[in-house]
Structure 1
Amino acid sequence: MAVINSLGTLEKFISNSDNTENAFYISEIPDVCKEYPCIVGIDEAGRGPVLGPMVYGTSFCPINEQMIYNKLDCADSKELNEEKRDLIFTNICKQNKTVGWAVDIISPNIISNNMLSRKKVSLNQISMDSAVGLIRAVESAGVKIAHVFVDTVGPPEKYQSYLKGLFPQFEITVSKKADSLYPVVSAASICAKVTRDHALKVWKFAEDIEATYENYGSGYPSDPVTKKFMEGHCDPVFGYPQLVRFSWSTAENALEKLAYHIDGENKEPTKKAPPVNNTSITSFFKLANKDNTEKKVPHEFFAQRCLSRDVEF
Structure 2
Amino acid sequence: MTRLTIKALREQLAQAPTPAFLATLAADPRKGAQQLWQHYQREQEQLAAKKAAFHQRERYERQLWPQYPNIAGIDEVGRGPLAGPVVTAAVILPHDFALLDVNDSKQLRPALRLKLYHQILEQAVAIGVGVSDVAVIDQINILEATKRAMLQAVANLPVHPDYLLIDAVKLNTPIPRESMFKGDANSVSIGAASIVAKVIRDQLMVAYDRAYPGYDFAKNAGYGTAKHLAGLAKYGVSPAHRQSFAPVRQYL
TM range (shorter): 0.5 to 0.7
Match of 1:231 among 230, 233, 239: 233
Report the Cα distance in structure 1 between the residues aligned to 2:92 and 2:194, rounded to whole angstroms. Answer: 12
Match of 1:145 among 161, 167, 182: 161
Match of 1:182 among 187, 190, 203: 187
Match of 2:145 among 115, 118, 126: 126
The total of aligned residue pairs comes to: 185
Partner residue of 2:130? 104
Q: CA deviation at 1:59?
A: 0.8
Counterparts of 1:233-312 in structure 2 under 5 Å? 233-234=235-236, 240-255=237-252
Partner residue of 1:71? 99
Q: CA deviation at 1:188?
A: 0.4
CA gap of 1:83–1:213, structure 2 versus 1, over 3 A, is farther
Report the Cα distance in structure 2 between the residues aligned to 1:83 and 1:205, rounded to whole angstroms. Answer: 22
Report the Cα distance in structure 1 between the residues aligned to 2:218 and 2:231, rounded to whole angstroms. Answer: 7
Counterparts of 1:160-179 in structure 2 under 5 Å? 163=172, 166-167=173-174, 170-179=175-184
Matched, 1:219 2:238: no
TM-score normalised according to structure 1 size: 0.54
Report the Cα distance in structure 1 between the residues aligned to 2:218 and 2:90, rounded to whole angstroms. Answer: 30
Q: CA deviation at 1:177?
A: 0.6
Partner residue of 1:39? 71
Aligned amino acid, residue 221 of structure 2: S
Gaps of 5+ in 2: 1-67
Once superposed, what is the RMSD of the aligned Cα atoms? 2.4
Counterparts of 1:48-59 in structure 2 under 5 Å? 48-59=80-91
Give yes or no for contact 2:205–2:217 (8 Å, CA) kept in 1.
Answer: no
Give yes or no for contact 2:77–2:86 (8 Å, CA) kept in 1.
Answer: yes
CA deviations over 1:181-226 (Å, ceiling 9, x no partner): 10000000111110111101122777xx5558567733212x1221
CA deviations over 1:17-75 (Å, ceiling 9, x no partner): xxxxxxxxxxxxxxxxxxx931101000010000111101111134xx1x41x425210
Q: CA deviation at 1:178?
A: 0.7
Partner residue of 1:89? 117
CA gap of 1:91–1:213, structure 2 versus 1, over 3 A, is farther
Q: CA deviation at 1:101?
A: 1.4
Report the Cα distance in structure 2 between the residues aligned to 1:123 and 1:218, rounded to whole angstroms. Answer: 16
Gaps of 5+ in 1: 1-35, 115-120, 154-158, 235-239, 256-313
Bigger helix fraction: 2
Report the Cα distance in structure 1 between the residues aligned to 2:219 and 2:244, rounded to whole angstroms. Answer: 18
Aligned amino acid, residue 71 of structure 2: I
Aligned amino acid, residue 176 of structure 1: F
